[in-house]
Amino acid sequence: MLYKNYIGGEWVEAEGGQTFKSVSPADTSDLLGEFPASDERDVNKAVEAADRALREWQKVPAPKRGELLFKVAQEFERRKEALARLMTREMGKVLNETRGSVQEGIDMTYYMAGEGRRLRGYTTPSELPDKAQYAIRRPIGRIAMITPWNFPFAIPTWKLMPALVAGNTLVWKPATDTPRMAYELVKIMADQGLPPGVVNLVFGSGSKVGIPLAKHPKIDMITFTGSTEVGREIYRYGAEKLNKVHLEMGGKNPIIVLEDGDLELALEGIIWSAFGTTGQRCTACSRLIIEDGVYEELLKELVERTERLKLGNGLDESVDVGPVVNEAQLNKIHEYVQLGIKEGAKLLCGGERATEGELAKGFFYKPTIFGDVKPTMRIAQEEIFGPVLAVLKARDYEEAIAIANGTNYGLSSSIYTQDVNKAQRAIQELEAGITYINSGTIGAEVHLPFGGVKWTGNGGREAGEAAIDEYTEWKAVYIDYSGRLQKAQGIE
Ligand code: NAP
Ligand code: MG
């Protein structure tokens, strides 16, 4: 089937008439649809539509905008299983996880629906008599939204829902690898009565759609989740126009296991964090830092259990690990594995593409563990975004923290210890936007702030109350009812 862009409330073809296909990474003969390969002309139309819709959408009372989101959330809930299955087909992660991903989008949509009756500002007394003053939130305006393929439903809802409840309009460019999920999400919103032009969807590549969208002079804010490399480029486009730019980028997330940690608990958390979503989560654990005394014991058991993970099509409920998203990603992962070997790390399992039987139909890579990794190695520093875990040894707590903090990234982090003092210190000392105690690096809930420090972000946070701060600007209001000119700061 040929899908279309959604611009100004109409489903329309790209001006240039070009298309691209979305196929399953588990079985490339499984086609999810054909989509417009749009360009700057389509972006311009979409931004104009967002511009036209803005005045009316801002005037809709926030509780009414919230009610619309509530209806959307209910429809997501009704369609949960179908959406999860589509997601597994389109980007590969196993059903158990895609169900969770859809649920995350549902949770976020309900949360932000409720925000419609809050959107809290504040009042405060004036220094002058007969004068009232308060602060209210205003929408920012026309927002460009650019998203990755690994959470093709949840991440868009993290951005769309707070932006919409606050009264913004958007143009969305989804990832080339997951256009079908974007279509389904927007279709549901449109069917629930979203006014024309409030959300516009333009399919196409980063270069042909993403760049002109980010550069568009009528865009007031850019919200982006993806790689640090692309985020940096987008930040520059935003700077030219003095736009607010929200960036959520890469990670190199560590789990620390201390000698007093519960090893069984740690093993489960490590496997889930390193190989869930085939390692393709921004919060995936890609570095395991083990204290000397339990290094051998933990690593031996970890390798054994990792070798038992079942690879396959995520639609099969018995499968643990699905494919990686595309061939380019598969090659990139394998290059990093070759590099790790060259750097002198010890390959303990995996390290190659899996092609047995049905696996030959897709892009499967064996879960891979490197031991004896040194903190300066590139496999310990750079985001690989695949099922590759680098294991490092630490002398003690101090060295473990130093290794954990010794990268440019700072999204998630975790420590396994039964020592309450060390756990509390780690919460203070780990340079990351998220810290888990006695749990892996993944599992964020939608009502807490989500984001990272250093190269992972530029200071913003998604989710929870923090998201409302991202998608609104403050206005200070002063009402003087004294009937004379009163001057603040004691001016006579
Ligand atoms: P990506 O290559 O940076 O792409 C992200 C989005 O940007 C896609 O829609 C992409 O379009 C678009 N894009 C690419 N080049 C562009 C350009 N020059 N200008 C404007 N837009 C451009 O990232 P990805 O491979 O999709 O996703 C993986 C990355 O996302 C990892 O680094 C991961 O850590 C990060 N991530 C971060 C978070 C977080 O919350 N911190 C969450 C999930 C993922 P195309 O698809 O057409 O290339
Ligand atoms: Mg990409």
Q: How far is the CA of 422 from the centre of ligand 2 (A)?
A: 39
* Mean pLDDT, rounded, for 362-380: 98
Instruction: Confirm whether 491 is domain-assigned.
Output: no
If one counts the domains in the chain, the total is 2
Q: pLDDT band at 401, cuts 50/70/90?
A: very high
User: What is the widest separation between alpha-carbon atoms in the chain?
Assistant: 86
Q: How many residues make up the chain in this entry?
A: 492
- The CATH number of the domain where 286 resides is what? 3.40.309.10
Pocket test for ligand 1, best of 146, 442, 455 (most atoms within 8 A of CB): 146
Can you tell me whether residue 292 is helix, strand or coil? Answer: helix
Whether residue 204 is found in the same domain as residue 280: no
DSSP-assigned letters across all residues of 219-277: --EEEEES-HHHHHHHHHHHHHTT-EEEEE----EEEEE-TTS-HHHHHHHHHHHHHGG
CATH classification of the domain holding 218 = 3.40.605.10
Whether residue 482 is contained in a domain is answered as: no
Domain range for 427:
253-437
Average pLDDT over residues 19-45: 98
Please give the pLDDT value at position 464: 94
Collapsing DSSP states into helix, strand and coil, what is residue 309?
coil
**331-356 confidence digits (pLDDT tens):** 999 999 999 999 999 999 999 999 99
Residues 293 and 217 reside in one and the same domain: no
Domain co-membership, 160 together with 68? yes
Mean pLDDT score, 35-58? 98
257 and 244 within one domain: no
User: pLDDT value at position 370?
Assistant: 98
Condensed to tens digits (0 to 9), the pLDDT of residues 472-487 reads 999 999 999 999 999 9
Task: Check whether residue 39 and residue 77 sit in a common domain.
Answer: yes
* pLDDT tens digits along 138-196: 999 999 999 999 999 999 999 999 999 999 999 999 999 999 999 999 999 999 999 99
- What are the CB-based long-range contacts (under 8 Å, 24+) for 365-368? 365/278, 365/323, 365/324, 365/330, 365/333, 365/334, 366/311, 367/274, 367/275, 367/279, 367/306, 367/307, 367/309, 367/311, 367/321, 368/337
- Give the closest residue (by CA) to ligand 1 atom 15: 206
Q: Which two tokens stand for residue 409?
A: 């990234």
d(CA 257, CA 294): 8
Contact residues of ligand 1, CB 6 A cut-off: 146-151, 155, 173, 175-177, 205-207, 210-211, 214, 225-227, 230, 233-234, 248-251, 282, 383, 385, 411, 456
226 CA → ligand 1 middle, Å: 3
Ligand 1 atom 11 nearest Cα: 206
Bridge partner list, 477:
134
Q: Ligand 1: distance of its center to the CA of 476 in Å?
A: 36
* Residue 118 DSSP symbol: T
Q: Would 258 be classed as within a structural domain?
A: yes
Confirm if 124 and 75 have CB atoms less than 8 A apart. Answer: no
Domain-embedded: residue 360: yes
Q: Report pLDDT digits (tens) over 102-138.
A: 999 999 999 999 999 999 999 999 999 999 999 999 9
194 with 275, same domain: the answer is: no
Tell me, yes or no, whether 487 lies in a domain. Answer: no
Judged by its nearest atom, the ligand closest to the C-alpha of residue 223 is 1
Do 20 and 111 lie in a common domain? yes
Q: Which of 249, 441, 462 to mutate to test the pocket of ligand 1 (most atoms within 8 A of CB)?
A: 249
Same domain, 228 and 179: yes
DSSP for 127-186 reads SSSSEEEEEEEEE--EEEEE--SSSTTHHHHHHHHHHHHTT-EEEEE--TT-HHHHHHHH
Q: Are residues 54 and 198 in the same domain?
A: yes
Distance (Å) from CA 52 to ligand 2 centroid: 31
* Residue to substitute in 18, 22, 97, 150 for testing ligand 1 pocket (most ligand atoms within 8 angstroms of CB): 150
Average pLDDT of the residues of the chain: 97
Of all residues in the chain, the percent with pLDDT exceeding 70 is: 100
Q: Which ligand is the nearest neighbour of the Cα of 226?
A: 1
pLDDT at 492 over 90: no
Ligand 2 centroid distance, CA of 328 (Å):
9
CA 432 to chain centroid, in Å, comes to 15
Q: Is the pLDDT of residue 431 over 90?
A: yes
CA dihedral 276, 432, 150, 10 (to 10 degrees): 150
Interval 262-287 mean pLDDT: 97
pLDDT category, 198, cuts 50, 70, 90? very high
**Which of 282, 291, 383, 462 is flagged as catalytic?**
282
Looking at residue 278, what is its pLDDT? 95
Q: Output the pTM of the full model.
A: 0.97
Residues 314 and 226 in one domain: no
Q: Tell me the mean pLDDT in the region 66-82.
A: 98
* Residue of 90, 184, 248, 470 with catalytic role: 248
Query: Is pLDDT of 34 > 90?
Result: yes
Q: Is 90 exceeded by the pLDDT of residue 219?
A: yes
Residues 335 and 422 placed together within one structural domain of the fold: yes
Catalytic: 248? yes
Is 263 in the same domain as 288?
A: yes
Look at residue 488 and tell me if it is in a domain: no
Ligand with the closest atom to the CA of 150: 1
Instruction: Name the closest-CA residue to atom 35, ligand 1.
Output: 226
Distance 147 CA to ligand 1 centre (A): 6
What is the pLDDT at residue 238? 98
On whether residue 430 sits in a domain, the answer given is yes
Above 90 in pLDDT, residue 67?
yes
Residue 57 counted as domain residue: yes
